[in-house]
Amino acid sequence: MKQHTAIYHCWRDGNGTAHVTADDKPLNARFDLDNHSPNGFEWGYAGSGPAQLALAMVADATGNDGLALRVHQHFKRKLIQHLDQESDWVISAEQVREIAKQLAEELKIT
């Protein structure tokens, strides 16, 4: 998989359902790697929806499924669980890669 240059945009619709896009297209949840949350993405707490979002974002941004599997729970704890549940937010693939790289170094993942 190739590194993505996306801008990820996360928001809730009028029913409160979470949506995540990568350059205005729905972000692939990557259930093929792990199925933390069949109900989709979430953020703002340390649960299964945030884990699925972290996995999808790291896999998409880095193009490295193995790295995503190894760091996504740490990525969730570092960023995703701290985001305001009621607010829209945006992050670039470059920022996701920076955090994933930092985590890989901290965890001594090669």
Q: Is the dihedral of CA 20, 54, 29, 8 positive or negative?
A: positive
pTM of the shown model: 0.94
Mean pLDDT value across the chain: 94
CA-to-CA distance for 89 and 68, rounded, in angstroms? 21
* 13-67 pLDDT, tens digit each: 999 999 999 999 999 999 999 999 989 999 999 999 999 999 999 999 999 999 9
Q: What is the token pair recorded at 71?
A: 């760091």
Count of C-beta atoms within a 10 Å radius of residue 65: 15
CA-to-CA distance for 84 and 86, rounded, in angstroms? 5
- CA terminus-to-terminus distance, the chain: 18
